[in-house]
Amino acid sequence: MEEIWPMKGNDRTLSLKLPLALGFVVVGLLCILCSPALASDETIDAFTIADPTGDWGFPSPYGHYPRGPGYIRMSLIFDTLVWKDQNGYVPALAESWQLEDDAYVFNLRKNVTWQDGEPFTAKDVVFTIDYTKEHPYPLVSPKLVKSAKALDDYTVKLYLNGSYAPFIEMVAGALPIIPEHIYKDVANPAEFLNEEALTGTGPFKLVDYDKAQGTYLYEAYDDYYLGAPRVKQLKFVKVSNEMAAAALEKGDVDAATVPPEKAEELEGMGFNVLKGSHDGITKIMVNHRKELFSDARFRQALYYAIDRQALVDTVLRGYGVIASPGLLAPDNDLFNPDVEKYDYDPAETEKIMGELGYAKDGQYFTKDGKPIEMEMLITSTDERAGEMIKQQLEQSGFKISLRSLDSKTRDSLVSEWNFDMALNSHGGMGADPEILSRLIGEGFSFNSARYFENQKLNDLLGREVSEMNPDNRMELVDEIQVVHAQDLPTLPLYYADSFWAYGGVIDMYHTKRGIAMGTPIAQNKLSFVR
């Protein structure tokens, strides 16, 4: 398993010092920043990737579904100012950058063209910043950049609204730059779904997208500024997790996420197999705006009633680890082990419920003769986990029903606060610790608890992202985990082991701290370029 950041001894602060240091200096030394060359320059006619979901939306900045796979589909077409490979930050549209007080200066490449042949300049960067203030890009907050100014055709200065430690990773390395000459007259970018909307500076152009079948076909943009991509056609096809290994063996696909039981077998057959770190989490979203769920003690009672180790042993077949109530995984360099553990303890559940005025009337906790009744939203991919959690909660005295939905409907109901509980999985946990702000406070609506009831917790989150001293920042991250574990605005369950298998001469890898804002999928576009 690869480390998120290299470390020496017990110096956890190195995980913060490296990205901060990169923000303070000009990073124009290409010998440090550029990706290592592949062992082979062999051209590949086509490369096919399996995906169990299939459709992740129209791959424009405003058309893709705002989860990791949707972002990856879009990133093949649109570039950011900065990117990452397996070692860290690399130049993308910007060759180098430096921090000047509360502003970043980016020195742009001079050999970049949009895929319609128009030149890329600093005006496009300024336009993108201004446009996203009026039309927010769903994965990057428009509040972080105060203004943008083109100093000349190939130099742009971005003024921040204050100190923001993870700016390079969470903004410069995540916000897709869009062409002014195409988007300047687009009033509703979410409905801009024609060919022009897919004009980027990236290494690939979309040839075909079948929403119903969940397939994407890209072709190489041979005038790409890093050189013509080695892969001439890139395909994404829908294949279930259960059939992924067989599809690899038959040669129907070249890369796929595979079940843990198949990983060693495929490696023995000559496939390359990557094991990911625990950057993906499964948790129960809780509607803390509703009565009863709004009480942290009630959420603690629920948590004591869930046997997380049994979930790992049964649902994951042992391929995973139980989640920390502080959110971050034990193999994360930022993990704080000194948080409340909430080991499985139904007796503690009953004690807390008694303190809240509930008593068991037969099987279920009741108050004034009425049992507690709850509903948990699940999807077809987590039915087994949902059934087991339901069984555990009912054994402890909670009456619970399950409702199975597609993931987009579930996410929509969570966003609208139209739910009791919802089982949810997502990645990004290995990214900059700013991810804690996005998952607890203001952030992605369907992944974030959007929890503002604890002022101390929200103050810590605000201080953490603006703290430029890495040692002080580490202390804040530790404390955030402690307070989250006390309040439990979400109920973390487990981190699943993940395995990625692929064949051929392409050098696939897990991106350092995840693609862009932490997507832990081994599909970095640079793998297909050189």
What pLDDT score does 444 carry?
58
Q: Kindly report, residue by residue over 198-247, the tens digit of the pLDDT.
A: 999 999 999 999 999 999 999 999 999 999 999 999 999 999 989 999 99
Taking phi over 0 as left and psi of -120 to 50 as alpha, with beta for the rest, 428 belongs to left
What pLDDT score does 24 carry?
34
Q: Which two tokens stand for residue 310?
A: 């049994």
d(CA 278, CA 275): 9
What pLDDT score does 467 carry?
93
Q: Kindly report, residue by residue over 100-136, the tens digit of the pLDDT.
A: 988 999 999 999 999 999 999 999 999 999 999 999 9
Alpha helices in 305-406 (DSSP H): 308-314, 346-355, 383-396
Taking phi over 0 as left and psi of -120 to 50 as alpha, with beta for the rest, 69 belongs to alpha
What pLDDT score does 517 carry?
87
d(CA 145, CA 171): 9
* H or E element at residue 195: none
Residues in the chain where the model's pLDDT stays below 50: 1-39
CA dihedral 516, 519, 520, 522 (to 10 degrees): -70
The CATH 3.10.105.10 domain(s) of the chain lie at 281-496
- Angle, vertex CA 205, rays to CA 199 and CA 210, nearest 5: 105
Q: Which residues of 457-475 are buried (b: 16+ CB within 10 A; e: fewer)?
A: bbebbeebbebeebeebbb
What pLDDT score does 443 carry?
63
Please state which of the four CATH numbers 3.40.50.620, 3.40.50.2300, 3.10.105.10, 3.20.20.70 is assigned to the domain occupying 281-496.
3.10.105.10
d(CA 223, CA 204): 10
Range 43-239+498-528 classified under CATH 3.40.50.720: no
- Residue identified by tokens 């124009």 is 28
Characterize the bridge pairing of strands 145-152 and 155-160: antiparallel
d(CA 109, CA 44): 27
The CATH 3.40.190.10 domain(s) of the chain lie at 43-239+498-528
Beta bridge partners of 235: 48, 217
Is-contact 435 174, C-beta < 8 A?
Answer: no
